[in-house]
Chain A
Amino acid sequence: MHELSLSSAIVNTVVKHAAGRRVSVVSLRVGHLRQVVPDSLEFYFEFVARGTVCEGARLEQELVPAVLRCDACTTGWEMDLPFFRCPECGGSEVTVTSGNEFEVESIEVEEVQCIGPR
C-alpha cells in the first residue's frame, strides 16, 4: 500500500531533474528491504504521473538484494526472511551492505532540437 506514497516521491524527484523536458523512461533501484511490490508501484506510478512530464513514461525497476555483514565476525549473507541477527555468531550489530535503496538512478528525457535560421 505504500507504493502510492512512494510513487509520488519518485515523480517529485524526476520532475525536479527533468527541468521541463518530457520523460520517457525512469530507472529505479529498489532494495529488497523496502518491501515494494513492483507491479503495484508501476500501477500507482502511471496514475501519479498523469499531468506531469512523467506522463506515459516507462518505469524500469532494478531489484537489489538485501546483503548483510556481521560487524563482529564479518560473516556476510544474503537475506530473504527479515532475520538481522548473524546466523554464524548471533551478533546483533550488522551492516546492511545493500537492500535499503530506493533511488532514482537515471531518467531518459526527450530533447527538442532547436532549428535555427540558416
Chain B
Amino acid sequence: MTTAAAPNYTSLQRIKRRTFEIMEGEVPDKYSHFVEVFIALLVVANVIGIILESVPEIHEAFMHEFHAFDVFSVAVFSVEFVLRVWSYSEKYIHSGGTAWDGRKEYVFSFYGIIDFVSTVPFYLQLLMPGADLRVLRMFRLMRIFKLSRYNSAFEDMVAAVKAEKDSFSSAVFLLFISCLLFSSLIYIIEGHEQPEIFPSIPAAMHWFVITIVSGWGNVDPVTFLGSLLVILTQILSIALAAILTGVVATAYTAQVERRQALYEMEVRSALADGVVTDEEQAKLKMMQAKLGMSDEQVESIKHQMEEEKHISAANKQA
C-alpha cells in the first residue's frame, strides 16, 4: 500500500518494505493476519508441548516428535527474528532516521529481547551439549510472551500502571515502610521467644511478606505485643488488597474514558464534513477493534454525536 508512495524503490527495497508491513501488522491485510495467526498458533503449540513434555511417560513415548517439533519451531522463529531485524530498517527511513534506528529499537525492545532469548539458546545447546537442560527449558518458556504482541492486555496493564503511577508508588512506599517497621518490631518482640523463627530481621521480613500475601504467616505469636503486631499486619494485608483494587478500578475506568475520547475525536472528524465515507467507516471499524470497544459503547457515542448535532442545529435556528 505504501509502496506506491515511493516509486523509485528497487525491487529488493520493495520486498523489504512489504516484509516490514506484514511483520509490523499496522496496516490490515490478509498476509499480516496470516503471519500473526500462524505465529500465535505455533507459540500455543510450543507451550502445550513444553507442558506435556514434562510428563515422563509422554516424553518417552514421543521423544522424537517433540524434538522434531522443536527444531521446526526454532527454524520458524529464527526466520521471523532475522526478517524482523532486516526489515525494521524501514521503520524510520522515511522520517529522517537511519536504517539502524529501527533495527536497534526492535532488538532492544521487550519483544526483540523475548524473540532473541526464546530462540537463540537452542543454538548454544548445539555448540555446548553439556548445558543444564532446565535453563534451556526456561528460555523456551519465554516464547509464551511472544503472544502478548498480539494481545493488548500487557500493554494496557503497563499503560494503566503508568497512568496511575503516583498511587501505585505510594502503595509500594507504604508497603516498604511497613515491611521495615513491622519486621523490626516483631524481631525485637518475639526474637527472644522464638529464635528459631525470628533469628534476624531478614527472617522476620520473610514472615512479613508471607503474611501480606497469604494473610497468615504460619507463626503463632507468644507475647501479647506479638499478637497485636500479627493482627495489624493482617489488617494491613487487607488494606493493601483494597488499595490495589481501587487503583486498578480507577485506572481501568480512566482508560475506558480515554479510549472513548479518542474514538469520539475520530467520529467528530469523520462527521465534520457532514458525510461519512466508506473509507472513514472502515477506519472507524478498525479503530473500534483496536481500542477494544464494544458495539454498545460505539452506539452510545454515535447517539451522543447526533444529539449534539441536533441541539446545535436548534440553536442555530433560534
Do A and B originate from a single complex?
Answer: no
